[in-house]
Amino acid sequence: MFKVYGTELRSRLLLGTSRYPSPAILTDAVQASRAQVVTVSLRRESSGERAGQGFWSIIRELGVRVLPNTAGCHSVKEAVTTAHMAREVFGTPWIKLEVIGEDDTLQPDVFGLTEAARLLCAEGFEVFPYTTEDLVVAERLLAAGCRVLMPWGAPIGSGRGLNNLFGLKALRAHFPEVPLIIDAGLGVPSHAAQALELGFDAVLINTAVAQARDPVQMAAAFAQAVEAGAAARLAGPIEPRDLAAPSTPLIGTAFRG
Amino acid sequence: MKILVNGAWRDTRAVDLAAALAELGYGETVVATALNGEFVPVSSRVGARLAEGDRLEVLAPMQGG
């Protein structure tokens, strides 16, 4: 159990809803993941197709919380306007704030991010900023009013896992009380387990599930990995060491002396 | 007059945003709107006057990561 903006969540897996082979597979994957929060977005709606209306009814039927994002926004103005639109459509103060600064890596523009976060927090939004592992940026985001941080593991959709282990460990150690959710870049369940073992509160997965050969099975695998990682964290992992330490007691060893 | 709706030029006789949405066929759909980059809440659509060349964004829920 962990808490974000006063909401207690049992599941430490948040799931994206994008890039699934079909709406039915999306529905089954969300259920298999046991996620209580899914991310959603806003896109241009043509009056003829009404694609968004069907999607929205699928999500509502799932009975999960939604975390709208500002994906694709490259400026503070775009992100803030999108956040307002999302709050009205989805009826939640939660917003996963993305301000993209660089197109090859989809790296957050942390300057625009902190500015947008400041504006939105002041208006009562509950901001989930998609950020890097940079400690100074994290400090600024918290000062802006954010009560949770979403550092990237690796570039969105890259499946590389926790790219900067040192930086992420430092972030965890530096802000022991702040809910930290690894967002983006995880590829396989062991990456998610690792994040939880290191003390991160949760992970947000999209591409690794949606683009797997069997998304539903992969969603279930991530659910197990996240539970295993969280349990391991509570159990207190041993410290790695350089030399062997025999696990079988040496006292009474035969043929000695 | 012509206004830009989601990036495409459309002819409209609507005087305000509420009328334009009805004319464009959005009816009862769940959408959020922005006029010239500024969010216009549902409650302000009636009376949000349109002018030649205005840029209207009509957004709806969509898959996201």
pLDDT (tens, 9 = 90+) of chain A, 257 residues, equals 899 999 999 999 999 999 999 999 999 999 999 999 999 999 998 877 788 888 999 999 999 999 999 998 999 999 999 999 999 999 999 999 999 999 888 999 999 999 999 999 999 999 999 999 999 999 999 999 999 999 999 999 899 999 999 999 999 999 999 999 999 999 999 999 999 999 999 999 999 999 999 999 999 999 999 999 999 999 999 998 999 988 888 888 888 87
Whether the CB of A207 is below 8 Å from some CB of chain B: the reply is: yes
**Confidence category of residue B54, pLDDT binned at 50, 70, 90:** very high
**Six-digit token string for A158:** 């890259």
The pLDDT value given to residue A90: 96
Q: Specify the pLDDT at position B27.
A: 83
The reply to whether residue B6 touches residue A45, judged by beta carbons under 8 angstroms, is: yes
Which chain A residue shows the shortest CA-CA distance from B57? A44
Q: Is residue A130 within 8 angstroms of chain B, CB to CB?
A: no
Is A96 catalytic? The answer is yes
DSSP-derived pairing of the beta strands B32-35 and B38-40: antiparallel
Residues of B with Cβ-Cβ distance to A45 under 8 angstroms: 6, 26, 29, 31, 58-60
Q: How far is CA A55 from the centre of its chain?
A: 21
Q: DSSP for A192-244, please give it.
A: HHHHHHTT-SEEEESHHHHTSSSHHHHHHHHHHHHHHHHHHHHH-PPPP-SS-
**B53 in Cβ contact with A81 (< 8 Å):** no
Q: Which two tokens stand for residue A240?
A: 């790695």
Cβ contact (<8 Å) for A52 and B29? yes
Chain B residues inside the 8 Å CB shell of A125: none
The SS3 assignment for A231 reads helix
A24: distance to nearest CA of chain B, Å? Answer: 13
Is the torsion defined by CA of A211, A216, A217, A222 positive or negative? Answer: positive
State the Cα–Cα distance between residues B9 and B7, nearest whole angstrom: 7
pLDDT at position A59 is 95
- The pair phi, psi for residue A28, each rounded to 5°, is -65, -35
A vs B, Cβ pairs < 8 A, gives: 113
Region of residue B47 (phi > 0: left; psi between -120 and 50: alpha; otherwise: beta):
left
Nearest-angstrom CA–CA distance, A173 and B24: 54
How do residues B19-35 score in pLDDT, each as one tens digit? 999 999 998 889 999 99
Cβ-defined contact of B59 to A39 (cutoff 8 Å):
no
Instruction: Measure CA of the first residue to CA of the last residue in chain B; give whole Å.
Output: 38
CA B10 distance to own-chain centroid: 11
Cite the beta strand spans of A34-97 per DSSP E. 37-44, 65-68, 94-97
Query: Which chain B residues are closer than 8 Å to A77 by Cβ?
Result: 37
- Which residue in A63, A67, A80 sits closest to A17, CA to CA? A67
A60 contact B CB<8A: no
Nearest Cα neighbor of A148 from A17, A35, A30, A14 is A14
Residue A167, both tokens: 């930086």
Contact A52 B30 (CB under 8 A): yes
Cross-chain residue pair A81–B34, CB shorter than 8 Å: yes
3-state secondary structure of A27: helix
A24 close to B (CB below 8 A): no
